[in-house]
A and B are shown apart, each in its own frame.
Chain A
């Protein structure tokens, strides 16, 4: 059994760890321009970008000999929940033969998927596999945060990113918790030893929006790296860990944090609209209060929840007093367009900071 699954930034490392611990062979073609082109060629024209990219990944993987696809289901109202249905039909009509495992967001479906994927494994082994994958996820998020902190302050440009790259590779390699702990400690030290300008006060920008675009650097044109090299400290309140703890594990602290954000969004967007629409609004209010310099709101073109948020954010921006830049991404998005807008935005934020009282 050769398994593939949709790619989404660091999710690849986490899921790969989980599935290889189950003794499965995993094949995940990296997301490239070609993936996107194949996906866009076979997907409905106005389907959103995650649909096209995951379809492209599936086609590439199937052509390289994958026989099993693991993907997620959902109960709406975001389109993600119906992806698997349409993708299955498209792949069948293309003449591919494969087994599709759709993990719906209920415990019965998860157990059923585990039984199919892990025949003959004890619950203890399964638990350990999840534990390791979870630890990797936390470690990756921590590395991402440290990189975002160091980038705008680093003395030698690119040094934070090279440590990050090594760290991600090492985390990917770690096969057991003890090894992972060692890796985490080692790279923690490396980051503290990095030559940075501790007195610098870079612009602080929050990045919110749809999770796939936020987490997949190929899709968002390496947004956080680009902002970092422009001297901006990027804060993503919704990394993979937050998402998993809030929506999948329903961790109590994460839920409490989530309900605070939802309450902040309430006056502007009074109901869950699927995806992360409400959270984009809520975090903008929160980060406005916390004195951030600006917000970048990213989403796939035609994403329903985020389009609603986008139409409400100008009002939020006015009331909360924080500038917001909304960026939609699709297969037509070019690097230059994104960079120009980010440069203009950060320039404006710098002027704004200079003019602010007390400076």
Chain B
């Protein structure tokens, strides 16, 4: 019987889902991905304290998978770009999972650290393959095929012929998780708002526009997000507004959101910071979205 490897549906899974699944399948493993986040997932993950909601969700997913798989795949992604880190909570995720879930299967927590550049990812690919009983050559070829077959980031959403065009900025692990994001994308569509997300921005454009910041952001995923947000703000196609969706207690977002808000204010672009946590109530959330879109509509009809 094939080895069953579980991937928690949370955090960086949303960036690398095809890549990870293809790679593990290439190693002959049966891949089990946890289901969509539910209230129960968040309650399980809620046993860890003071972290942001996506981390709680990720830990909840890991606990849900624990009894059903032979290995849990929670790689320690320290850095994926020279000079940059991922978030500290992503770095510490394997340890938080280990410290919180009872009766865990072995965790595949190989470190990937490309901060100083280098070939650390191949070391991790080989080490992970060895754990599943494959030789280095098989592991590397599985990795190459996975890279080849993975489409990369999810396709960006493009606004149709909606009246309002709003940029929705948030980490993919928030926007694509309907429980965490309270299905904000669907709610905005119901309100007749066309949504553009960071995925629709070409990475190179995003990288170029970050030169507007005097200091490079050292959290890789925030850097990408901020770059995309700035690119949308300064692009020639006019936006009606920007919503920055973040989770309470997200460290990097607290500073990056402030910077983006200040850029938006200088451009007189309406900007709303929307913070969610497990206590976020549906009614309050909807009210804020409605108020924001009403304001945008009124602003537009006055032909500013």
Contact = CB atoms under 8 A, between A and B. Distances in A.
Given A271-B78, A274-B91, 19 more contacts: A46-B254, A46-B275, A79-B254, A81-B218, A82-B218, A83-B255, A84-B215, A85-B213, A85-B215, A89-B258, A268-B95, A301-B50, A304-B88, A307-B249, A308-B92, A311-B49, A311-B99, A312-B95, A315-B99
Contacts of A76: 84-85, 218-219
A170 to B, nearest CB: 40
A199 to B, nearest CB: 41
Contact of A44 (B50, B100, B257): B257
Nearest to B92: A308
Contacts of B100: 311
10 contacts: A46-B249, A46-B250, A47-B258, A76-B218, A77-B218, A78-B88, A82-B215, A85-B255, A89-B259, A270-B111
A235 interface: no
B214 to A, nearest CB: 6
Nearest to A315: B99
Interface string A228-269: 000000000000000000000000000000000000000011
Interface in A278-325: 301-305, 307-308, 310-312, 314-315
A48 interface: yes
A20 interface: no
A343 to B, nearest CB: 22
B88 to A, nearest CB: 4
A328 interface: yes
Contact of A314 (B99, B213, B248): B99
Contacts, number: 125
A274 B85 CA distance: 10
Contact of A307 (B89, B95, B259): B89
A311 B92 CA distance: 10
B164 interface: no
Contact of A311 (B48, B215, B250, B251): B48
Tell me which of B111, B251, B257, B275 has the highest count of chain A C-beta atoms within 10 A of its own C-beta.
B251
A82 B88 CA distance: 14
Interface size class of B (residues with CB under 8 A): 35 or more
Given A76-B218, A270-B109, A47 B255 contact: yes
A189 interface: no
A89 B218 CA distance: 18
Interface of A: 44-48, 51, 73, 75-79, 81-86, 88-90, 93, 268-275, 277, 301-305, 307-308, 310-312, 314-315, 328
A316 to B, nearest CB: 8
Given A76-B85, A77-B219, A273 B252 contact: no
B217 interface: yes
A44 to B, nearest CB: 4
Interface string B117-152: 000000000000000000000000000000000000
A271 B50 CA distance: 20
Given A45-B254, A85-B259, A307-B89, A271 B215 contact: no
Contact of B255 (A79, A273, A301, A311): A79
Contacts of A310: 49-50
Interface string B201-240: 0000000000001110111000000000000000000000
Contacts of A274: 85, 88, 91
A342 to B, nearest CB: 19
B76 interface: yes
